[in-house]
Structure 1
Amino acid sequence: MIRAGRRKYAQNSEELAAAMGLTIGTFRNKQPYADENFPPQISSDGARVKLWDSEQTAAHLAGRPVPELPHEDDEQDLLDRNEAAAELGVSPKTWDKNYKTHPQTAPHLTLVKGVEHCPRGIVHAFRTSKDTGGGPKGRPKGSGDMVPRDEISTRVGDLIDEDPAVTLATVQERIGLSYAAAARALPRLRGERIADLLQREPDLTPEEAATRLGYPTAVQRTALASAATELRARHVQPYLQRVADVLVGADLAEAQDVRVQRLEGDVLAVSVALSGSGAPALVWDERYGWRTAVSKRHPIGKETGTPPEGDGIRYLSEHQQPEPAELLAALTDRRHGSRHPKTVYPAGGTLRG
């Protein structure tokens, strides 16, 4: 396993071979790690990818005393498939088939040197709910939530403020949310609070902010990822609002407050309703830039992972964030634009405000 806080020291065979001045072929043939004095692997017995702690191997190769790794288990220890399966008392194949894809575990899986790991705390939480017969509680699978959608953030936020370590099960039971709705709301709202604190105290690291807010280590990874998305959304929002205001000034839209939405995979997108144009709305997607939409009620449409195309959809610029004047010119002149995005930008990249 990778002990809590030591992910950055994980070292695979290629990296260790390079540190020893060996080709990977020679390394595998000679297996210098088989020496009884060599630091032990941190990967599980029988793991497909061998891993070591680079701080230990560097000390060994330099002839220095090898530092010991922590002995106490921690909720943020990262377990590979064999170790996670052992914690649950199942086979690795059963872990792969039934457990790692479960909504309680899947969002927390993380790759280290190409190897999938799960935090110990997540495995323990899943085992506890399984042992108690709890499992996901709240609304039955497939049923709706018991609170209006526009009240979910306030209600869940109140629970987080009351107890930063509030669990999914508690949110489901006290508010009456489905598991999926609770699993979406908790990390998003924790992320918003981390973003708030980072903006108030910019010298803090995200990890320090999460700890300051009292979030358990087992949920920090998803909360921190959500905070990063929230900060990107806040950074780009002034630009998007400026575009909307320019459209209002050109009598192509009514005054409106732009709200950045998160699509699947935390992709950022925005829709701007139009009133004086042939298109019912404009959509900005961080991957494809600005395009016209064919529906005013559902302008962004269903996320498919591919650029929307078809009649009425026109991509207005090859730039991710063109100047509002350029966008306005392209919107009002049908000779501009294309049926397909000329450039696809990676989701989660740096955005300018």
Structure 2
Amino acid sequence: MIPRGRPTLDIHEVAARAGVSVATWRRRHHQAFAAAVQPLPGSVRPLIYDAAQVDAHLAGEPLPPLPSGPHPGDLLTDSEAGAIAGVTASTVRADAVNGLMDRGTERHGRRWWTRAAAEARAGREAQYKGRTAGAKDLAPRIARTDPRIREVAAIAEAAEAGQAQPVTAAQLAERYGVSTRTAERLMAKADEARRTS
């Protein structure tokens, strides 16, 4: 979370403020810095720091405290916004893409949403009709029979009764516009359907 939209810095920007390269910063200064300045909550990859605290540390002054308590202007990650809105992080991202929530602000290579936007999202029902977590099917799914199987079975019965010529897989493939292998499968399923009926 970035409190009230305060300016923030990642480790590259911290090193630049100190006037050294990132490699030099990590080698000489980062250990003392990490002991004194905590990254902002929820920041991962990259870790980000409050600019005022970084400047105070670099100047050798006491760190100013971060604002406390929630504020509508706080910037939240997708996970934090989802926790407030009562949805998953992926739903927050999907809502932003589909225009159901504001697109957020990009900072340090990731998107952030205001607490106000997350709270507004909390009052709306989900727009997605996916499966409910833990749901179990009470009725078996209906297996749909390919109508071509019935036709091929009828042709085979007519051929056995001497009322029609037997057909080959190549003829069925041409008739249905499928591959020969698919026509062979249709013939096998038709034979199976005739045996079980």
Query: Which residue does the alignment assign to 1:119?
Result: 114
Deviation at 1:19, TM superposition (A): 1.9
In terms of fraction of residues, the more helix-rich structure is: 2
The two structures have a TM-score, normalised by structure 1, of 0.32
Matched letter for residue 105 of structure 2: T
Q: Deviations over 1:239-272 (max 9, x none)?
A: xxxxxxxxxxxxxxxxxxxxxxxxxxxxxxxxxx
Matched letter for residue 19 of structure 1: R
CA distance in structure 2 between the partners assigned to 1:128 and 1:31 by the alignment: 46
Instruction: State the secondary structure of the residue aligned to 2:97.
Output: coil
Q: Is the 8 A contact 1:43 1:50 kept in 2?
A: no
Instruction: State the secondary structure of the residue aligned to 2:4.
Output: coil
Deviation at 1:35, TM superposition (A): 5.2
Query: Which residue does the alignment assign to 2:155?
Result: none
Instruction: State the secondary structure of the residue aligned to 1:83.
Output: helix
CA distance in structure 1 between the partners assigned to 2:70 and 2:2 by the alignment: 11
Q: Is the 8 A contact 1:3 1:70 kept in 2?
A: yes
CA distance in structure 2 between the partners assigned to 1:33 and 1:103 by the alignment: 43
Matched letter for residue 115 of structure 1: R
**Match of residue 12, structure 2, among 1, 11, 14:** 14
Deviation at 1:29, TM superposition (A): 5.8
Matched letter for residue 37 of structure 2: P
- The alignment yields a C-alpha RMSD, in angstroms, of 2.8
**Match of residue 110, structure 1, among 75, 87, 105:** 105
CA distance in structure 2 between the partners assigned to 1:26 and 1:92 by the alignment: 36
Q: Deviations over 1:117-169 (max 9, x none)?
A: 11110011101223xx7x7xxxxxxxxxxxxxxxxxxxxxxxxxxxxxxxxxx
Query: Which residue does the alignment assign to 1:4?
Result: 4
Q: Is the 8 A contact 1:84 1:95 kept in 2?
A: yes
Query: Which residue does the alignment assign to 1:24?
Result: 22
Matched letter for residue 100 of structure 2: Q
CA distance in structure 1 between the partners assigned to 2:77 and 2:26 by the alignment: 22
Q: Is the 8 A contact 2:102 2:117 kept in 1?
A: no
Q: Is the 8 A contact 2:86 2:122 kept in 1?
A: no
Runs (5+) with no aligned partner, structure 1: 136-353
Deviation at 1:92, TM superposition (A): 3.5
Query: Which residue does the alignment assign to 1:56?
Result: 53
Query: Which residue does the alignment assign to 1:78?
Result: 75
**Bigger RCO (CA 8 Å, 6+ sep):** 2
Q: Is the 8 A contact 1:105 1:118 kept in 2?
A: no
Q: Deviations over 1:8-42 (max 9, x none)?
A: x2112211011223312344566716756422112
Query: Which residue does the alignment assign to 2:97?
Result: 101
CA distance in structure 2 between the partners assigned to 1:2 and 1:49 by the alignment: 13
Matched letter for residue 118 of structure 1: W
Instruction: State the secondary structure of the residue aligned to 2:124.
Output: helix
Instruction: State the secondary structure of the residue aligned to 1:85.
Output: helix
Q: In the superposition, relative to structure 1, how do residues 62 and 114 fare at CA in structure 2: closer, same or farther (>3 Å)?
A: same
CA distance in structure 2 between the partners assigned to 1:37 and 1:80 by the alignment: 24
The two structures have a TM-score, normalised by structure 2, of 0.54
Runs (5+) with no aligned partner, structure 2: 128-197
CA distance in structure 2 between the partners assigned to 1:43 and 1:94 by the alignment: 21
Instruction: State the secondary structure of the residue aligned to 1:65.
Output: coil
